[in-house]
Structure 1
Amino acid sequence: MRRWLALLVAATTSLVLIALLVPMALLIRSVAENGAMNRATAAAESVSVAVGTPDLALAVEQVPRPVTVFLPDGRVLGAAAPRSAAVRLAATGRSVTAEAPDGREVLSSAQTSEGTAVIRVFVSDAELTRGVREAWAALLVLGLGLVLLGIVLADRLALAVTRPVDGLARVSHRLASGDLAARAEPGGPPEVRSVALALNHLATRIDDLLAAERESVADLSHRLRTPLTALRLDAEALRDPEEAARLAARVDALERAVSTVITDARRRSAGRESCDATAVVRERVRFWSVLAEDQGREVEVSLPDAELPVAVGAADLAACVDALLGNVFAHTPEGVPFAVRLAPRGSGAALTVSDRGPGFDPALARRGDSAGGSTGLGLDIARRAAESSGGSLSVSYAAGGGAVVDVVLTGP
């Protein structure tokens, strides 16, 4: 926008300056020519006064320009010049201005007792245009200076407009990423301030709606607990212990599922979280290492020494790691080694889980697809954790065989 405004002002200023400076340049040239011709005419008149007097030769010598006097008796005083048609016309008693090679000639007639004398004053092209080029150069510099000044002022004006708009874009991106505390600073023209106030109102409204959603989730949790408790009591009242245990287990599973749904809803409503990826991955690898030791699996772990913050909650990242390692144990034979690597990447981190098993088709890395008889949701859980932070998940084959899953997590 700044560039377009600068180009618009430059074009507009250039058109205005051309409309003003071109006639001014022509006027300067005309004034210079008229001045030179007036000075030549004055010189011719000063010589014509001395025609017929003994001071004529002295008057011709005192004129600081080429002057020629054609006397009636055929004599010529002053600078040599041809007796042109304009000279013959002036001899009839007229004052004439005519074009001549490399300039102009001003012809004036003077009457004497012997006839008509013609005074010729030559004006060169250099004298006709004296000072014109310098004036034109000054006008050109002035025009360029005005254009540059207009561009600078337009850029400052555009900056006053674009800076608040850029701020609105940044706030919009923050809101889209889950930072509901982001607010725009009203500034710039009235229209931009109005947009900033509207965006702030929208952000406040979204925050209110999410707060209402959290209250609804809490109310849902409270309402579901009562029928689940009643159902549990009914199960415990059954006479058949096995049937009672089976139904109680179903109730427990249902209660855990409800709790998980409510927890996930609360987490989404609460906004974007962050955690130390190094600590989470280290803790989950330690948990799975016990099972790996039982199955004779070699575990290669590479973690950074420092904290590595990422824009995903600790619970979600732990679920991501559990899903990836769970796939390794579920889809590779016992004794197959695997590796877990966590390293900084940009402002975030890259988590890589690889194994030396049979591998799998990356085309099956979709929700609900599995070649091993499972639900196929493990990679989807990992993908959702990556995408919630603004990252991504990719699956490929290892160079020596096996599967490689790369999870990119962005920084908070």
Structure 2
Amino acid sequence: MTVRITEAPTGTIPHRVLADRIHPDRHAVLVQFSPHEKRPGGVALDLLQAMGKDFRVVGANSVRNDEHRLYAPMWATAHGITTVAVLDAQQTHPRVVGWLLDLLPTATTTVLVCEPGHAAVATQRFRDAGIDPTPLDWDTWLDQHKEPPVNLTPRGALDEGYSLDHLPKCDFLTFRYACRELNSTHRFQTIDSDYVRVYRAAQTVTPDESAVISHLDAMTAAATSTASMLVAIRATQSAFFARGHLLRAHPDRLLGVLSCTKAPRPTEDDWRALRAYIRPERAATTTLYLLGVTANALNGTTVDTVRKALSSGRIAGRTIPEGARPLLAAQLVRRGYERAAAVDSYLNLKGERRHLEILIAARRDLGLPIDGRNLRNDDTSNPTRILHRLGFEVRSLQ
């Protein structure tokens, strides 16, 4: 384990310089600890967040401190982390750095980044605590990380210009107004162009359930997240209301219905979104499904199957993108910790429908247009699905 220490030049704000250089996509992590941190689990928590974990997603708040310490090394190994940069090292307690080192692979280099003028005192403080960092020139270090900046755009903003975070949680009557109040002018124009397109198309749709489903299917055929699908639902509701019909829609159910008719079309945005999960089995289950492993085959996928897939770079007849590899590798590392045999289940999920519940949660948490309750079947169409009636109904107001 190598520990280095560096100091930013006077007038330099380290975080601004390093934020788009030190990133898991580059096998590096940028982390900052509270000077009052007193728990090893808290250090693991900060490390997980630095690797993209989001505590707003399902199950995150129920993960205990001991699980944080279990999962953090798994994800560090899966991402192939070789460098961890610790900001504000001059105020980081040496025991916190010691806990961090315990979580990292042995080949990882930890760089303690100090504010200007603090490196000498910080170096002595760490040495007194038994950690001996060697000096590292700031400019030399930056030259080692001079690749083009990593794109940090939120999910959905790449392909559609907005994500679920940019849409209000309100009824269709105030949806358009709330969008304008919530977003910048440019983003609102992007949302509103989708809204107006669907609204105009809905003005000629027959007010019955089959016609509405067909209309929404057509309007969301190219959707890469559920954000644009939600805009289509609200615009259709508004158009029907103007025509004297009330389209009562349960957004979550209707989004599930629309999603389950679409074959997975994963993008780089999806792989980035799946990093939000702390528990490796959630990310791995959804990744396998997006890569073409059928829902029925998920539980039967073995450790050896995934190990060979990562080695060959292909699974279910598809090439595994770079962004998907850590998502599969983390669960493989976990099964290794659990001493699973090659023929054992890779996902090791409890319950016959657990994999379907995970797919549903991925749509709700991350905006992925997939669903597990009624998966796509080429031999059936929307009107023949039982679930198509659970998401909405059309009533005349006259």
**TM value normalised by structure 1:** 0.19
- Greater strand share, 1 or 2? 1
Specify the structure having the higher radius of gyration (Cα).
Answer: 1
